[in-house]
């Protein structure tokens, strides 16, 4: 039984609620519906139980038929005239896309434009020009070395030929001069192409190109050596032009486009 006070539901037939102790005899008597099985008779409709509308409830009245006009605008139905007498002009577009201009195409045989190369590295510092005294000492050392080598060559030549220094005039001059020229010129050209002769190594100077300060090639070294010999013939007076120039460059340096800098 179900307790009317606390709602406890029990399946035993007792007088009190097992949850709250309420006596079921104090509750009001309920009208128990008649659930007996009825026998079939002629006055009972067998389809009455499955009707959706109760037979005792009167049917609801039907709504009135709609009027043949729209209730909002009060316009009779069936009229084909447009509701809007004048249409508005179309709105202008928000944005008009412009056509892309035709760019001229580059031909395959046209040279491609060179990109601008930016040299962000700072330029290398320019080497300082060598002092005239250091260059003079280097030239004296080189000449002294060549004189010693030439003297040794002449001495051994006299010893091989079995003659003395007094008989030097009997020797053929052409082969001896050609040998000394090749020997001295080869020494100057080879060491100048390397940047430093033995005298320049001793004084700490070197010969470089005037623009890029890079080592000389054999052609430029030979040109500078030939001009240096020509200027040295008149007792070294050809080098006097280096005294009056700010960069201490002589004629042989200007013609060969060279500089003498500190190593």
The mean pLDDT value of the chain amounts to: 75
Q: Is residue 174 part of a domain?
A: yes
Q: Is residue 97 part of a domain?
A: no
Q: Is residue 8 part of a domain?
A: yes
Residue 216 phi/psi, 5° resolution? -85, 155
DSSP state of 69: B
Q: Is the dihedral of CA 208, 211, 214, 220 positive or negative?
A: negative
For the ranges 22-36, 168-182, 225-239, the lowest mean pLDDT is seen at 22-36
Q: Is residue 69 part of a domain?
A: no
Q: Is residue 158 part of a domain?
A: yes
Q: Is residue 195 part of a domain?
A: yes
The predicted pLDDT at position 148 comes to 92
For the ranges 116-120, 229-233, 240-244, the lowest mean pLDDT is seen at 116-120
pLDDT in tens, 102-132: 666 666 666 665 555 555 566 667 788 888 8
Return the closest-CA partner of residue 222 out of 260, 184, 249: 184
The tally of domains found in the chain comes to 2
Q: Is residue 108 part of a domain?
A: no
Tell me, yes or no, whether 136 and 258 share the same domain: yes
Put simply, whether the predicted model's pTM sits higher than 0.75 gets the answer: no
CA separation for the pair 233, 247 (Å, rounded):
23
Q: Is residue 37 part of a domain?
A: no
Q: Which of 74-83, 158-167, 195-204 has the highest mean pLDDT?
A: 195-204
Residue 13 belongs to what domain range? 1-26
Number of neighbouring beta carbons within 10 Å of residue 3: 18
Tell me, yes or no, whether 254 and 137 share the same domain: yes
């Amino acid at each position: 039984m179900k307790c009317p006070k606390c709602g406890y539901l029990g399946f035993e037939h007792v007088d009190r609620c097992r949850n709250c102790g309420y006596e079921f005899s104090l509750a009001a008597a309920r009208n128990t519906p008649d659930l007996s099985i009825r026998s079939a008779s002629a006055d009972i409709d067998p389809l009455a139980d499955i009707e959706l509308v109760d037979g005792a409830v009167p049917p609801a009245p039907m709504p009135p038929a709609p009027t043949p006009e729209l209730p909002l605008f009060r316009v009779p139905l069936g009229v084909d005239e447009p509701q809007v007498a004048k249409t508005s002009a179309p709105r202008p577009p928000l944005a008009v896309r412009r056509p892309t201009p035709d760019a001229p195409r580059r031909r395959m045989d046209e040279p491609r434009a060179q990109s601008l190369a930016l040299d962000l590295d700072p330029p290398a510092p320019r080497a300082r020009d060598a002092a005239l005294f250091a260059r003079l000492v280097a030239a004296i050392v080189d000449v002294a070395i060549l004189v010693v080598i030439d003297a040794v060559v002449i001495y051994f030549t006299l010893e091989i030929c079995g003659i003395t220094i007094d008989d030097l005039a009997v020797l053929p001059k052409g082969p001896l001069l050609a040998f000394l020229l090749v020997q001295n010129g080869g020494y100057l050209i080879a060491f100048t192409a390397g940047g430093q002769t033995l005298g320049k190594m001793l004084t700490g100077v070197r010969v470089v190109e005037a623009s890029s300060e890079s080592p000389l090639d054999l052609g430029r070294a030979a040109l500078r050596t030939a001009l240096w010999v020509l200027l040295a013939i008149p007792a070294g007076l050809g080098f006097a032009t280096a005294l009056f120039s700010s960069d201490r460059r002589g004629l042989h340096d200007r013609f060969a486009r060279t500089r003498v800098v500190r190593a």
